[in-house]
Amino acid sequence: PSPTPSRARDLLDSGYERIVTSLGGDGAVLVTADRALYADAPAVEVVDTVGAGDSLFAGVLSALDRGESESEALRTGVAVASAVVGTTGTTPPRLDALDRDRIAVGPAPAPAE
């Protein structure tokens, strides 16, 4: 599937400012009216996926709340989710302990026609 959700534009048109979609082990996308960003998930040993999606969104929202760019917010969200799946349970990682440098963020590929 394309990393740019086909439904994202419809949701934006209905009033949402940003759409964040988890792609599981394939990363995540953040779509706005102006652009679509894609972050690849780093390779991690998956122990438990419970709470991974919630952790992604918590990381994105936390970064945006701190005034970080959308690119950095997506990078933070993927870093948080990647840390969570590497442990048992749903204890969130410390933000200052995240390895964000290994997560590339760039334009999302165009959806397949």
Spell 72-82 as b/e; 16+ CB within 10 A means b: bbbbbbbbbbb
Residue 53: which of 88, 27, 33, 71 has the closest Cα? 27
Catalytic status, residue 54: yes
Helices then strands, each counted (H, E), the chain? 3, 4
The residue written with tokens 């200052």 in the block is 96
Instruction: Name the catalytic one among 13, 26, 54, 101.
Output: 54
The catalytic residue positions are: 54
